């Protein structure tokens, strides 16, 4: 049995916290896409830690954590992350496993990401510059190197061949930076990676499913950043939606049961691209400050706005979401009035559908307005005793999406969560 937790917006919905919370109910926690562009924040005994590639189940001693074939893996970041979790007493040599089919991010992928963004000028995607796009391009272009290749004695020859191809592209971009330090770090880190548990991920996970073990697939980014269904081209380079679980882990679709979608009680986006409900006013600034909306990976300020039910409904449809977790409800505590977007007006026509492209459209969001609850809910531990304004807000969302909000998160700590 496989359940999935994924983001329904533009990322940073609180997946790390929620996966860490749910991990107790599972045997295996597996990442199926993305790479070091992700930043999943967890609090362990009061200390904050941000995971980029290691699944968010790593702090549960008895759980298996798998980095699946759909991930693109930067060995340099992985080594640093392993050292960081080890400082919390985690024995990653025992409970971290990596699929041999996982593609590697090379130093030249990172360089290409930078060079490509610079060449786009005003039209830049706002990439995290971690080499994600170029690494996935080499995967689909059938050039990439995989974790399993590290164990082959021809690895260095394969590496040089690919690096030479990349150098031609970098010369074309007129990329001047010296990447020799990255390369030194890369070779140190692949030595380390070779010493970890490298497995045949698809047999590994299916054997566990067949034994009746419970699997939790952990998404990165969010549905609106999906390469097919997101706000293309301002997206990431992988399938962030539930379909990505099958190809990113080697799991058949009928094995998937619950699809748990996470949304913030409002909405954020980091990087460029359309964001219909964005607030460029004092309320937007309030959400950024109260919600500490600064990127977990890059530190960039996140753009903030109201919840967008048109986009959320679309995300529920393409993912087959069966239940919703609403995070950061506590950030709305101080607001007198709340809004949710219920339709878009595009060229004078009202629609409740997400258009195939939003970049060159003038989209006006139409809102439903609610009274805020204006109470501190961070210590709340039952839905029954929650403010009636919050109940109204949730009830409206439930009805609109026809998917229940099952949990409300009211603070960053593991136990700040209420069952509705
Ligand atoms: P992820 O990428 O989806 O894992 O999310 P991030 O970790 O990038 O960003 C979510 C941020 O919100 C982190 O700083 C979390 O600690 C924090 N967070 C998660 N849930 C809540 C919540 O319910 N309330 C508050 N105040 N913070 C939360
Ligand atoms: P988590 O898992 C928020 C955004 C970048 C950029 C676009 C493409 O923490 O939710 P990329 O580096 O993938 O080429 O960037 O996607 N982005 C994220 N935004 N959270 C993330 O991950 C993100 N990963 C990528 O800001 O706009
Ligand atoms: Mg994040």
CATH number of the domain residue 72 falls in: 3.40.440.10
3-state secondary structure string, the chain? CEEEEEECCCCCCCHHHHHHHHHHHCCEEEECCECCCCCEEEEECCEEEEECCCCCCCCCCCCEEEECCCEEECHHHHHHHHHHHHCCCCCHHHHEEEECCCEECCHHHHHHHHHHHHHHHHHCCCCCCCCHHHHHHHHHCCCCCEHHHHHCCCHHHHHHHHHHHHHHHHHHCCCCCCCHHHHHHHHHHHHHHHCCEEECHHHHHHHHHHCCCCEEEECCCCHHHCCCCCCCCCCCCCCCCCHHHHHHHCCCHHHEEEEEEEEECCEEECCCCCCCCECCCHHHHHHHHHCCCECCCCCCECEEECEEHHHHHHHHHHHCCCEEEEECHHHHCCCCEEEEEEEEEECCEEECCCCCCCCCCCEEEEEEEEECCCCCCCCCCCCCCCCHHHHHHHHHHHHHHCCCEEEEECCCCCCCEEEC
341 within 8 A of 309, measured Cβ to Cβ? yes
- For residue 24, the enclosing domain spans 2-100+199-260
Asked if residue 376 and residue 297 are part of one domain, the reply reads yes
Is the residue at 410 inside a domain? no
Q: Provide the pLDDT for residue 269.
A: 98
Does residue 222 line the site of ligand 1, with CB under 6 A?
A: no
Q: How would you classify the pairing of strands 405-409 and 417-419? A: antiparallel
Atom of ligand 1 nearest to the CA of 13: 3
Asked if residue 56 and residue 24 are part of one domain, the reply reads yes
Is the residue at 23 inside a domain? yes
Asked if residue 348 and residue 238 are part of one domain, the reply reads no
Start-to-end Cα distance in the chain = 24
Q: Provide the pLDDT for residue 398.
A: 97
Catalytic annotation, pick one of 40, 52, 103, 166: 40
Asked if residue 364 and residue 287 are part of one domain, the reply reads yes
Tokens representing 165 are 């191809």
Is the residue at 409 inside a domain? no
pLDDT along the chain (420 residues), means of 10: 98 98 98 98 94 98 97 98 97 98 98 97 95 98 98 96 97 95 97 98 98 98 98 98 98 98 98 97 97 91 98 98 98 97 97 95 96 96 96 97 98 96
Specify the CATH number for the domain of residue 134: 1.10.300.10
Number of domains observed in the structure of the chain: 3
| pTM (predicted TM-score) | 0.97
Residue 254 CA to ligand 3 center (angstroms) comes to 29
Ligand 2 is surrounded, with C-beta below 6 A, by: 7, 10-12, 34, 37-40, 125-128, 130, 132-133, 220-222, 225, 236, 270-271, 296
Asked if residue 267 and residue 256 are part of one domain, the reply reads no
Residue 156 CA to ligand 2 center (angstroms) comes to 31
Atom 15, ligand 2: which residue's CA is nearest? 127
Atom of ligand 2 nearest to the CA of 132: 14
Tokens representing 176 are 């001047």
Asked if residue 372 and residue 295 are part of one domain, the reply reads yes
- Of 292, 294, 249, 338, the C-alpha closest to 71 is 249
Specify the CATH number for the domain of residue 333: 3.90.170.10
> Among this protein's residues, is 103 annotated catalytic?
no
Residue 10 CA to ligand 3 center (angstroms) comes to 10
Last residue of a domain, one of 193, 215, 245: 193
Is the residue at 357 inside a domain? yes
Last residue of a domain, one of 260, 288, 311: 260
Phi then psi for residue 115, to 5 deg, are -65, -40
Asked if residue 77 and residue 212 are part of one domain, the reply reads yes
Does residue 302 line the site of ligand 1, with CB under 6 A?
A: no
Residue 236 CA to ligand 2 center (angstroms) comes to 6
Atom of ligand 1 nearest to the CA of 222: 3
**CA distances (Å), 396 to each of 123, 135, 368, 419, in order?**
37, 42, 10, 17
Asked if residue 292 and residue 269 are part of one domain, the reply reads yes
Is the residue at 415 inside a domain? no
Asked if residue 400 and residue 297 are part of one domain, the reply reads yes
- Of 378, 397, 261, the C-alpha closest to 321 is 261
> Among this protein's residues, is 308 annotated catalytic?
no
Is the residue at 315 inside a domain? yes
Asked if residue 116 and residue 94 are part of one domain, the reply reads no
21 within 8 A of 260, measured Cβ to Cβ? no
110 within 8 A of 185, measured Cβ to Cβ? no
Asked if residue 274 and residue 126 are part of one domain, the reply reads no
Is the residue at 219 inside a domain? yes
Does residue 249 line the site of ligand 1, with CB under 6 A?
A: no
Test site for ligand 2: of 139, 221, 244, 294, most ligand atoms within 8 A of the Cβ: 221
Last residue of a domain, one of 162, 193, 224: 193
Residue 267 CA to ligand 2 center (angstroms) comes to 14
Is the residue at 414 inside a domain? no
Asked if residue 400 and residue 293 are part of one domain, the reply reads yes
Give the number of residues written for the chain.
420
Q: How many CA atoms lie within 13 A of 399 on its CB side?
A: 7
């Amino acid at each position: 049995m496989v359940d999935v937790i994924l983001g329904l917006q533009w990322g940073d919905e609180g997946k790390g916290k929620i996966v860490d919370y749910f991990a107790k109910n599972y045997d295996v926690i597996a990442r199926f896409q993305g790479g070091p562009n992700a930043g999943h924040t967890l609090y362990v005994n009061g200390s904050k830690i941000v995971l980029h590639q290691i699944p968010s189940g790593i702090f549960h001693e008895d759980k298996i954590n798998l980095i699946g074939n759909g991930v693109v893996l930067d060995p340099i970041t992985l080594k640093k992350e392993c050292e960081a979790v080890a400082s919390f007493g985690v024995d990653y040599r025992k409970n971290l496993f990596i699929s041999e089919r996982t593609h590697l991010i090379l130093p030249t992928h990172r360089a290409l990401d930078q060079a490509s963004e610079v060449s786009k000028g005003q039209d830049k995607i706002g990439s995290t510059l971690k080499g994600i796009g170029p690494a996935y391009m080499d995967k689909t272009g059938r050039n990439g190197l995989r974790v399993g290749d590290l164990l082959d004695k021809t690895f260095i020859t394969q590496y040089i061949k690919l690096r030479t191809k990349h150098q031609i592209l970098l010369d074309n971009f007129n990329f001047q930076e010296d990447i020799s330090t990255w390369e030194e770090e890369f070779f140190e880190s692949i030595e380390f990676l070779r010493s970890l548990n490298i497995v045949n991920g698809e047999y590994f996970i299916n054997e566990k499913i067949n034994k009746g073990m419970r699997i939790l697939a952990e998404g990165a980014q969010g549905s609106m950043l999906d390469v097919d269904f997101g706000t293309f081209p301002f997206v990431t380079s992988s399938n962030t939606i539930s379909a990505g679980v099958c190809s990113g882990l080697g799991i058949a679709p009928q094995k998937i049961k619950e699809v748990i979608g996470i949304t913030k009680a409002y909405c954020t986006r980091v990087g460029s691209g359309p964001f219909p409900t964005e607030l460029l006013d004092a309320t937007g600034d309030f959400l950024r400050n109260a919600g500490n909306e600064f990127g977990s990976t890059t530190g960039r300020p996140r753009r903030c706005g109201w919840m967008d039910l048109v986009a959320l409904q679309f995300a529920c449809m393409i993912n087959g979401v069966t239940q919703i977790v609403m995070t950061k409800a506590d950030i709305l505590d101080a607001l007198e009035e709340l809004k949710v977007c219920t339709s878009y007006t595009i060229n004078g026509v009202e629609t409740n559908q997400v258009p195939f492209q939003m970049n060159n459209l003038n989209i006006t969001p139409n809102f439903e307005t609610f009274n805020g609850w204006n109470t501190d809910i961070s210590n709340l531990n039952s839905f029954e005793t929650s403010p009636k304004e919050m109940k109204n807000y949730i009830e409206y969302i439930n009805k609109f999406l026809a998917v229940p909000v099952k949990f409300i998160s009211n603070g960053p700590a593991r136990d700040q969560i209420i069952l509705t």
